[in-house]
Structure 1
Amino acid sequence: MGSVKLKHYVVRKGKHAYWMPTPTMKLLGFRIISCGHDGPEAWAIAREWEERYQRTRKGLDAPLIKAYPKNSVGDAFERFRRTKEWETKPSRTREDWDRGWKYIEHVFGDVAPETITMEMMDLWYHRMIAKKGVGEAGRTMKTWRALYTVMTAMKLCTPKQDPSRAIQKQSVPGRTEIWTQSEVIRFVKGAWRAGFKGLACIIAIAWDTSFSPVDCRTLTPSHAVSVGADWGFVIQRHKTGETAFGIISRPTRQLVQTYVSGLDFELHDDAPIFRTRGAAPGPKGGRRHSPVPYQKSSLIDDVADIRRAVLGKEEKCRLMDMRRTGAVEAVSGGGTVESMAAKMGNSIDQNKTLQKTYMPVNLASVRAADESRKIGRKNIASEQNEIKKLKLVKKTS
């Protein structure tokens, strides 16, 4: 298949195509458009959106931004989007707001917030559950409640009178999956052998440190430290801002050293260390895709591909589940809440102030959590007693 050059057309991971508007284009209401897999159909979609933008830019079409009534919910959201507070939000957070807004806008966009009743919210929320599911409805409700706080600050509605607070938000059942050490070893080796060397390092680090996926994929040389004979990373967690220290094992250290020494460019202190595999043109041509720092979507896709190839289609564990696995192992090995809080970089007790006061991040606590994981891992592996259904039968005389 050949290739074409289209403005604002981007292909990720060698196959997923997007039409990507610039910040200036977004001010006119244009958003990222998923075009599907790279090919003629994706080119046609991107070309169509590019033409719409050019017509809007030249004044032939009206901007996509809708004009809402003054002091309506939609007007408040557009005002909020023009603030510095919105600009400073992480891009993923803004995407979550936009994702929720598309379900809020068509019902409440033209409505004054003070006129929205509990009955209206109840009908909207439960209809959304029926159409989109509990997860999407819950995400949207979270966006609404955050927006209500903004509208309160704008003096468009009464503080602490959000009608949605009378509705019990339903939750998706929490995940319970955990990894075994043997699965992780196979996972790392499978990624490395398939050419996903950056991914192999991310998996190994996630297992050793219990860092979240985003904290692993955004590691830079400036995060790397040594303490005695140990190597590790000191980070500010993306989600909480808490300081976390992660020690990596000797095999992971060797893996990272091999990966870095094989890079054909010099890493700057603040550049993400781990990159995608990249892709060369196939036998039918196409674009060359150089390795780039992992993003959320590319990491999810690559993890899923390697997991299926190594562990089979039935395996459902995700990279995020390694964080839970570390906690389960540490608790099984007698680890304390204090040591786990220090290792995971969060406040696992409800009283966060006391946790910060009495559980500072320190190397001794991290080592204690790591030792507890080793003990717990052995305890879990040696536990052979399984719960089986007991069949009660009537005795015959």
Structure 2
Amino acid sequence: MARIKLKHYVIRKGKYGYWLPTPKMVAAGFQCVPCGEDGPRAWAVAQQWEARWQAFRKGREATPRIGNWPKNSIGDAFARYRRTEAWKRLAPRTREDWERGWTYIEPYFADLPPADISLELLDEWYARLLRAKGVDIAYRAMKTWRALYNVMAGMKLCQPKADPSLAIRRKTPVPRRQTWTEGETVRLVKGAWRAGYRGLACIIAVAWDTSFSPVDARTLTPAQAVQTAKEWGFLIERTKSGEPAFGTLSARTQRLVLSYIESLGVTLLDDAPIFRSRGFTPGVKGGRPRAGVPYTKDTLVDDFADARLLVFGKGEKRKLMDMRRSGAVEANAGGASVETIAAKMGNSIDENKTLQRTYMPVNLAAVRSADEHRRQGRKLLGQERNEYKKLKLGGDKS
């Protein structure tokens, strides 16, 4: 399939196309538009919205039109919500999730008033999504609907706490269970470093040691580096939950990070992300040199996939996010308490998060306990590998 270059068109997760306006365009009233899976249809949607922007910019169209919906309809409510300051304060990825969910709501309900949406209509819609798109898409679409219902209730378009979808029991996507071992992680780090992905190699090593999420690992700055009497690492507030977390680094990872920073040849500002992409150095075929830049979510996913392919081949599908789960599995196998694991990971496992923050602040004793239990659990998990063998029951015993 031939590719064409479109202004303001980007691809997320390797296959979804979006028409992504600049801040100036957003200020004029335009919003991110999901175009569907990358291909001719998505390009056509992006071209349509680019034409609308050009018409608006040249004065041929007075205002951008996100949807021509009846007043106080669901489509009109969503368009109003996208013009609010509350929408603008949402994280970009959160807005993308809303937009993706809206693509499945719009064809069915956009021109209807919220009060006309019955349990039967929602049940039929959800069942169709399950059949056509699967559990994951249906789950996310229903999640968007329920959030949008609360917004519409705030606009006085429907009754608060009376969402008929709450009578529908959603099917939950199967949670990820994949984990990495220490040996596999070491191989990944070495493979990424040797292939020139040195910033990625550091992120992998840090994610393994600290149990930080990928976004927390890739956005670490020099200002977050702290040292205690026994170790050094990074003290952060988690991007997702805002919970504080202290991630300790092993001696091996400390040497790796320091070597990487020295190889940059520049002085990092306190608030500058430490780890960067490998950039590009022209080879025999020429090209324009490009310096490494701080990792984004998409470039980290792409580079990790490249390193994983180099080390483990095409059959490997585990992700960087699975490093976080691996740390919890090791600590649990080693006998760590739920409280120490929560302190290590910087999340609240108790339903009362206020009490968790009050009585379980980040403390070095809990972090060190979780680290020690991880080492013990790693040994126990290693001893159990290949423990099970096929037992033959019946058959020829001669």
**Normalised TM-score (structure 2):** 0.88
Mapped partners of 1:187, 1:176: distance in 2: 19
Mapped partners of 1:197, 1:384: distance in 2: 31
Say how many residue pairs are matched.
387
Partner of 1:334: 335
Give the partner amino acid of 1:83. Answer: T
Deviations 1:63-117 (A, max 9, x none): 4411221111111111111211111111111111111111111211111111100
Mapped partners of 1:65, 1:207: distance in 2: 44
Give the partner amino acid of 1:142. Answer: K
Give the partner amino acid of 2:329. Answer: V
Judged with a 3 Å threshold, the aligned counterparts in structure 2 of structure 1 residues 125 and 34 are, in CA distance, closer, same or farther, namely closer
Partner of 1:55: 55
Judged with a 3 Å threshold, the aligned counterparts in structure 2 of structure 1 residues 36 and 279 are, in CA distance, closer, same or farther, namely farther
Cα deviation, residue 313, structure 1: 1.9
Unmatched 5+ stretches in structure 2: none
| Structure of higher RCO (CA pairs closer than 8 Å, 6+ residues apart) | 1
Give the partner amino acid of 1:172. Answer: P
User: In angstroms, what is the RMSD of aligned CA positions?
Assistant: 3.1
Mapped partners of 2:10, 2:140: distance in 1: 28
Partner of 2:22: 22
Cα deviation, residue 361, structure 1: 1.2
Deviates more, 1:22-31 or 1:187-196: 22-31
User: Residues 11 and 38 of structure 2 are in contact (CA less than 8 Å); yes or no, is this contact kept in structure 1?
Assistant: no
Give the partner amino acid of 2:126. Answer: Y
User: Residues 18 and 35 of structure 1 are in contact (CA less than 8 Å); yes or no, is this contact kept in structure 2?
Assistant: no
Mapped partners of 2:202, 2:67: distance in 1: 46
Deviations 1:102-146 (A, max 9, x none): 111121111111110011111111111222221111111111111
Partner of 1:134: 135
Partner of 1:160: 161
Mapped partners of 1:46, 1:152: distance in 2: 32
Judged with a 3 Å threshold, the aligned counterparts in structure 2 of structure 1 residues 44 and 159 are, in CA distance, closer, same or farther, namely closer
Give the partner amino acid of 1:31. Answer: V
Cα deviation, residue 346, structure 1: 0.6
User: Residues 71 and 156 of structure 1 are in contact (CA less than 8 Å); yes or no, is this contact kept in structure 2?
Assistant: yes
Judged with a 3 Å threshold, the aligned counterparts in structure 2 of structure 1 residues 18 and 273 are, in CA distance, closer, same or farther, namely farther
Partner of 2:96: 95
Partner of 1:315: 316
Cα deviation, residue 358, structure 1: 2.9
User: Residues 230 and 247 of structure 1 are in contact (CA less than 8 Å); yes or no, is this contact kept in structure 2?
Assistant: yes
Percent identity over the alignment is: 58
Deviates more, 1:254-263 or 1:25-34: 25-34
Mapped partners of 2:268, 2:255: distance in 1: 18
Mapped partners of 2:48, 2:283: distance in 1: 27
Cα deviation, residue 324, structure 1: 0.9
Give the partner amino acid of 1:92. Answer: R
**Normalised TM-score (structure 1):** 0.88
Deviates more, 1:110-119 or 1:264-273: 264-273
Mapped partners of 2:287, 2:76: distance in 1: 45
- Aligned partner of residue 33 in structure 2, secondary structure: coil
The 5 A counterparts of 1:80-119 are 80-119=81-120
Partner of 1:233: 234
Partner of 1:199: 200
Partner of 1:247: 248
Mapped partners of 1:48, 1:77: distance in 2: 20
